[in-house]
Structure 1
Amino acid sequence: MILHADLDAFYASVEQRDDPGLRGRPVIVGSGVVLAASYEAKAHGVRTAMSGGTARRLCPRAVVVKPRMSAYAEASKAVFAVFRATTPLVEGLSIDEAFLDVDGLRTPPADVAVRLRREVAEEVGLPITVGVARTKFLAKVASGVAKPDGLLVVPPEGEMEFLRPLPVRSLWGVGRATAARLARYGVTTVGDVADMPESTLVSLLGPGAGGHLHDLARNRDPRPVRTGVRRRSMGAQRALGRRARSPEELDAMLVGLADRLGGRLRAARRLCRTVTLRLRFGDFARATRSRTLPQATAETPRILDVARGLLAAAGPLIASRGLTLIGLSLGDLRDDRAVQLALPLDGVPWAGEVDAAVDGVRGRFGPSAITRAVLLGRDQGMSVPLPPD
């Protein structure tokens, strides 16, 4: 049996925990773009990734707070400590959710879930929802149905009875477009998908998506809970709000994102080959632009150079449609020991030395303006002194 444990409205719940005056009130984290909303705010239609202006119009009484990423990271560490005290088989999905394999424990899975929820509430002070089932897919669906602050156990003999009436969008991989395509053929529930021949699904959606949905609709999900799996990508982003940004401002933000990700790469002794720029426009449409490098790298200057090229290519779109979010992700990660190192960037022998110096500054002072100053100064051919050891 597998547990899917998912913290409820995580960022907003941390704010309500730390400020008793916010408890029971609608809370929105983030002003330009909603990063999280309490369930009191969600009741008014506020949703994650919505513009701050729209959210405030929907819920004028909401309290808007600035995000505190360090507080959320600490809360996440405390919750995952409870997970690992429950079972060593924990597969983290994000900062606020994980799968736990409890099949080998002597305690019945339902009792394990009850204890887990109680310990998270008592030790960390946060509400958490848990779904329990035989497969990852069904456990995650169960937690979604049980939210907020709930527990739902799907017994093996009741799996299909539980699954069949659910809307088709409960299936992983079914978004708005796929749901609309299936609806044109009268397919609106998981049961409808389960009743379709696999060949029909494949003809509608292609071999990958069709076979995937055919299996999930019948609760075929043999994936085990996997521990110690290294990530294949990492990313960072920044919400911009509705105010127009100059090219210089966007470039400074891009420098900050590249600096942060480059430091994370080197700290984890990883290299990347693919750099992806992620954009969200004024109409909330999204676009990505990516480039795969001939040689894997962890050098911030190289990552920044590629990111700047992608941003420049997207310039006309940004100018015509506006920009509300800019993000950068690094993909195709591999261990640095497994890859032959290339020559320094563009023949600059001291590129790695600057990266090392920047990492040292970051470790002592945090990812602040001084870090970005080193990168920007070097770009402009200036010598930027670092603080003495």
Structure 2
Amino acid sequence: MENPKTNTVRKIIHVDMDAFYASVEQMDHPEWRGKPLVVGGSRARGVVAAASYEARKYGVYSAMASSIAVRKCPHLIFAKPRFDRYRELSLMIREVFYEYTDLVEPLSLDEAFLDVTENKKGINSAILIARQIRQKIKEKTNLNASAGVSYNKFLAKIASDLNKPNGQAYILPEDAEEFLEKLPIGKFFGIGKVTAEKMQKIGIHNGADLKQFSLQFLSKKFGKSGLHYFNIVRGIHLSEVQPHRVRKSLSAENTFEVDLTTDEELLNKLQPIYEEVIRRLDKSGIKGRTVTLKLKYSDFSLQTRSKTLEQYPDKEMIWEIAKELLEQEVVSKPVRLLGLGLSNLNITEEHEHFGEQLKIPFEKE
């Protein structure tokens, strides 16, 4: 895909550290190496923030309830997150990126996009740059990274997952459409589980199936996302690497198949949304002083309720505020969507180097 500003094919790398938090804990604690380990929560309650590859063999993954993880792997090791340590290593990793380009867009402490179309080393091959970056990260941190290389961010992100862990892959412009036609719909970056299930119900199981549907149909079926789906299956994704894009909020939401009508239903459905927000907070290492609850009713009217604190609330306080906001101004209408978010984040220049910089909107997935 040509960059309209330069008429050149862009060279984008997506670097993703392998099981970053868990790998750091195993590196710093030799007795945990080679054993199933998760970061976050506790054996009794909480949510898994990260899982080692040994834990994944038992079916344990991030965002899973700790109680379920323990049932899958009774001898699972739980490590408390140490974000100061993760940020320290993240800085070392970023320093490697900046040896090659200033066009670095962090997604979190452990992954980032790099535009190396024009790079400081004058190296023509993005594949070679990705290999060098991974080698230097290993030398500086003793941690493994995977990478994907392509001509846009969407494809680079997909490619970085192809040969994990400790590998890399590339998708050339001439190979993109054929590759995407064969790709299962659930593997498309940005298409979550709920959307994938909706697509499968109408016969979309891979890229080739998606390609058969018109823009008009996809827009009618999936709203504004229809154009995105229409383009990405054709390898079209024009979003540029944005090194100075700072997140303003962090949030999660869910749209329900059946509207919620009772206080008990609302509270039960809010719990996993809260846990997803906490997972994202744990991954990013940031905090927020304003808690916002979002409700969309059956008539599609929208309401938000917020509370701002003087200090950054801890996890338990966020849950108490979320419940408090849910109980305010009760509206006697069925609820079709619930969302929970944090704003007034502790984003400083330091966090611009360490933390997640892409704004995470209220997501339906």
* Structure having the larger proportion of residues in helix: 1
Q: Among all aligned residue pairs of Structure 1 and Structure 2, give the percentage whose two residues are the same amino acid.
A: 39
Task: Note the C-alpha offset of 1:140.
Answer: 0.2
Task: Note the C-alpha offset of 1:204.
Answer: 1.6
Q: Please say if 1:56 is aligned against 2:56.
A: no
Which residue of 2 is the match for residue 276 of structure 1?
A: 292
Task: Note the C-alpha offset of 1:310.
Answer: 4.7
Which residue of 2 is the match for residue 224 of structure 1?
A: 240
The 2-side partners of 1:123 and 1:220 are apart by 36
Query: Residue type matched to 1:36 in 2?
Result: A
Greater C-alpha radius of gyration:
1
Task: Note the C-alpha offset of 1:157.
Answer: 1.4
Q: How does 1:106-117 map to 2 (within 5 A)?
A: 106-107=122-123, 108-117=125-134
Report if the CA contact (8 A) 2:293-2:325 is conserved. no
Q: Deviations over 1:42-85 (max 9, x none)?
A: 01100112122211221123222222221112111111111112
The 2-side partners of 1:306 and 1:34 are apart by 18
Which residue of 1 is the match for residue 54 of structure 2?
A: 40
Report if the CA contact (8 A) 2:306-2:325 is conserved. no
Task: Note the C-alpha offset of 1:313.
Answer: 3.8
Label 1:309 to 1:115 Cα distance change in 2 as closer, same or farther (>3 A): closer
Q: Please say if 1:214 is aligned against 2:235.
A: no
Which residue of 2 is the match for residue 257 of structure 1?
A: none
Q: Please say if 1:131 is aligned against 2:145.
A: no
The 2-side partners of 1:37 and 1:218 are apart by 33
Label 1:136 to 1:58 Cα distance change in 2 as closer, same or farther (>3 A): same
Which residue of 2 is the match for residue 11 of structure 1?
A: 21
TM-score scaled to structure 2, two decimals?
A: 0.68
Aligned to 2:180, which of 155, 163, 176?
163
The alignment partner of 2:162 has SS state of helix
Report if the CA contact (8 A) 1:83-1:90 is conserved. yes
Q: Deviations over 1:360-379 (max 9, x none)?
A: xxxxxxxxxxxxxxxxxxxx
Q: Deviations over 1:231-259 (max 9, x none)?
A: 222579xxxxxxxxxxxxxxxxxxxxxxx
Which residue of 1 is the match for residue 83 of structure 2?
A: 69
The alignment partner of 2:161 has SS state of helix
The 1-side partners of 2:150 and 2:212 are apart by 22
The alignment partner of 1:276 has SS state of strand
Extract structure 1 runs of 4+ deviating beyond 4 A: 297-301, 305-310
Task: Note the C-alpha offset of 1:181.
Answer: 1.7
Label 1:63 to 1:156 Cα distance change in 2 as closer, same or farther (>3 A): same
Query: Residue type matched to 1:47 in 2?
Result: Y
Which residue of 2 is the match for residue 118 of structure 1?
A: 135
Label 1:277 to 1:127 Cα distance change in 2 as closer, same or farther (>3 A): farther
Task: Note the C-alpha offset of 1:219.
Answer: 1.2
Task: Note the C-alpha offset of 1:299.
Answer: 5.2
Report if the CA contact (8 A) 1:170-1:190 is conserved. no
Task: Note the C-alpha offset of 1:229.
Answer: 1.8
The alignment partner of 1:145 has SS state of coil
Label 1:214 to 1:16 Cα distance change in 2 as closer, same or farther (>3 A): same
Q: Deviations over 1:77-105 (max 9, x none)?
A: 11111111221110111111100001113
Report if the CA contact (8 A) 1:164-1:191 is conserved. yes
Report if the CA contact (8 A) 1:276-1:289 is conserved. no
Task: Note the C-alpha offset of 1:113.
Answer: 0.5
Query: Which stretches in structure 2 are left out of the alignment for 5+ residues?
Result: 1-10, 253-285, 295-301, 329-338, 348-365
CA RMSD of aligned residues (A): 3.4
Query: Residue type matched to 1:24 in 2?
Result: G
The 2-side partners of 1:101 and 1:49 are apart by 30
Report if the CA contact (8 A) 2:55-2:73 is conserved. yes
Task: Note the C-alpha offset of 1:169.
Answer: 2.0
Which residue of 2 is the match for residue 84 of structure 1?
A: 98
Label 1:224 to 1:112 Cα distance change in 2 as closer, same or farther (>3 A): same
Report if the CA contact (8 A) 1:4-1:143 is conserved. yes
The 2-side partners of 1:230 and 1:69 are apart by 19
TM-score scaled to structure 1, two decimals?
A: 0.64
Which residue of 2 is the match for residue 197 of structure 1?
A: 214
Q: How does 1:356-375 map to 2 (within 5 A)?
A: none
Q: Please say if 1:312 is aligned against 2:324.
A: yes
Task: Note the C-alpha offset of 1:189.
Answer: 0.5
